């Protein structure tokens, strides 16, 4: 199925084409028609399944179609409640991408930063508000947020809200929104308290259940490099100087990090460009074109910017920083080894990222072989990893069980120079 077959409006189809998307993921294919019919939805899906687009695309279409009925200043018509700042920003980036040709305005609000710029955005009027619970309650109490005209409410990652202790705030917020509304409820798991919450806020919902991508392509050769955080730059330059590496897509968790890696590589004489949300669409397309044509060796990307990128014969993917969502790892490395060709994925892991590594290895169901014969190998890495597992009582993250397995530290499957003395 293509996006055209989902009866989407031209401004959204145009944006999807710009992003490089042609076919919806299973959750998008199932959810978009339900939401467009204005029905409540209960979605059992994890991050990494295409969930954000599954609700962002139809919300944009519904609100765009309803513009004719709006009078006076813009009022918040859609509220998306999400547990973390990172996820709120990611959802905001998605609305920017898919709604670029619509007239919809959105704002992202979260705690931990000054509220000044967020209040200014709210005062200028927004159609869609993406928020974390604590900051939203603060701004409602200060009378900066009015939800009287709300038409659509999205509760994202409900089980994570419970894990992080936000469920009381969520219940309080639900009392402040109109009872007559469309509700979209997403949760990766359905513990009793979450099921009860879903039962109280959903009206005759349609249920969509999608299992996450958890296996990695057999054609991808995965390797792990334990390295001190401060040595990552040197290790990356060392690896990229290998003439066998024709092209490398390198992932950074942040836009700032992507720019810094680019600067370091260019300084080292390696032709590199970056793509992320702060770059214009023209700059991103030019960088991608230069990468595909072989004019640059390395392309640095954030996860949001890399969505929709399809590069034939990409030889290497390098995780400069491990993602904090294990499914993201599967999506990242899946950009190499396409169409039956072999691909290579390298991942750097410092001491702070070992929790992420355990979650990744649990998801893919195997240990990633370690290359320890490289000049920046972190000494005692296997011991630190095993101690970390013991310290957490076998738990990789709150609410998640660890595989409990220490990474391999035997013979490396490749050599990268001599060890430091």
Residue-wise pLDDT tens digits, 94-146: 999 999 999 899 999 998 888 999 999 999 999 999 999 999 999 999 999 99
Other CB atoms within 10 A of residue 352 CB: 10
What residues are paired with 129 via a beta bridge?
79, 107
What confidence score (pLDDT) does residue 386 get? 67
Write the CB contacts of 80 (distance below 8 Å, at least 6 apart in sequence). Answer: 55, 91, 128, 129, 130, 131, 154, 156
DSSP 391-416: HTTTEEETTEE---PPPP-SS-SS--
Ranges of residues in the chain with a pLDDT under 50 are 68-72, 392-421
Query: Residue 414: its pLDDT value, please?
Result: 45
Secondary structure string (H, E, C) spanning 246-302: CCEEEECCCHHHHHHHHHHHHHCCCCEEEECCCCCHHHHHHHHHHHHCCCCCEEEEC
Cα 276 to chain centroid, rounded: 13
pLDDT value, residue 401: 32
pTM of the shown model: 0.59
- In this structure, which topology does domain 220-401 adopt according to CATH? Rossmann fold (3.40.50)
| CATH class, 3-209 region | alpha beta
Instruction: Identify the pLDDT of residue 71.
Output: 47
What b/e sequence results for 15-35 when a residue is b if at least 16 CB atoms lie within 10 Å of its CB, and e otherwise? bbebbebeebbbbbbbbbebb
Residue 246: how many CB atoms within 10 A of its CB? 11
Q: What residue segments make up the domains of the chain, in order of their start?
A: 3-209, 220-401
Q: What angle do CA 376, 382, 383 make, to 5 degrees?
A: 115
User: How high is the pLDDT of residue 400?
Assistant: 34
d(CA 85, CA 353): 19
Q: What pLDDT is stored for residue 395 in this prediction?
A: 35
pLDDT of residue 73: 61
Distance, in Å, from the CA atom of 334 to the CA atom of 406, rounded to the nearest integer, reads 24
pLDDT at 188: 81
Alpha-carbon 163 to chain mean position: 19
Percent of the chain at pLDDT > 90 equals: 54
Predicted local distance difference test score (pLDDT) of residue 185? 97
Q: Residue 354 and residue 320: Cα distance in Å, rounded?
A: 14
């Amino acid at each position: 199925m293509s996006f055209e077959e989902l009866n989407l409006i031209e401004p959204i189809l145009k944006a999807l084409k710009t992003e490089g998307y042609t076919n919806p993921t299973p959750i998008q294919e199932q959810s978009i028609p339900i939401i467009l019919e204005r029905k409540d939805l209960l979605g059992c899906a994890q991050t990494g399944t295409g969930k954000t687009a599954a609700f962002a695309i139809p919300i944009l279409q519904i609100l765009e179609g309803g513009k004719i009925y709006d009078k006076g200043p813009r009022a918040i018509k859609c509220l998306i409640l999400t547990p973390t700042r990172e996820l709120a920003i990611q959802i905001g980036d998605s609305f920017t991408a898919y709604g670029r040709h619509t007239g919809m305005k959105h704002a992202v609000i979260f705690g931990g930063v000054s509220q000044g710029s967020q209040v200014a955005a709210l005062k200028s009027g927004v159609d869609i508000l993406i928020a974390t619970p604590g900051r939203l309650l603060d701004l409602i109490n200060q009378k900066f947020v009015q939800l009287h005209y709300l038409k659509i409410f999205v509760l994202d990652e409900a089980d994570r809200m419970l894990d992080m202790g936000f469920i009381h705030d969520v219940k309080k917020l639900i009392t402040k929104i109109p009872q007559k509304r469309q509700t979209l409820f997403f949760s990766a798991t359905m513990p009793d308290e979450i099921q009860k919450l879903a039962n109280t806020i959903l009206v005759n919902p349609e249920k969509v259940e999608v299992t996450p991508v958890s296996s990695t392509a057999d054609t991808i050769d995965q390797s792990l490099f334990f390295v001190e955080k401060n040595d990552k730059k040197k290790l990356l330059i060392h690896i990229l100087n290998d003439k066998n590496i024709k092209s490398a897509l390198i992932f950074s968790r942040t836009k700032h990090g992507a720019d810094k890696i680019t600067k370091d590589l260019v300084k080292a004489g390696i032709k590199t460009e970056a793509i992320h949300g702060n770059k214009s669409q023209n700059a991103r397309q030019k960088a991608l074109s230069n990468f595909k044509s072989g004019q640059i060796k390395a392309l640095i990307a954030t996860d949001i910017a890399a969505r929709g990128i399809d590069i034939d014969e990409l030889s290497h993917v390098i995780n400069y920083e491990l993602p904090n969502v294990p499914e993201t790892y599967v999506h990242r490395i899946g950009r190499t080894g396409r169409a039956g060709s072999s691909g290579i994925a390298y991942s750097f892991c410092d001491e702070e990222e070992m929790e992420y590594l355990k979650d990744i290895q649990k998801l893919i169901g195997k240990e990633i072989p370690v290359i320890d014969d490289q000049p920046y190998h972190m000494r005692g890495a296997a011991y630190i990893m095993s101690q970390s597992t013991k310290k957490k009582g076998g738990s990789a993250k709150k609410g998640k069980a660890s595989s409990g397995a220490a990474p391999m530290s035997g013979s490396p499957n490749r050599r990268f120079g001599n060890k430091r003395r």
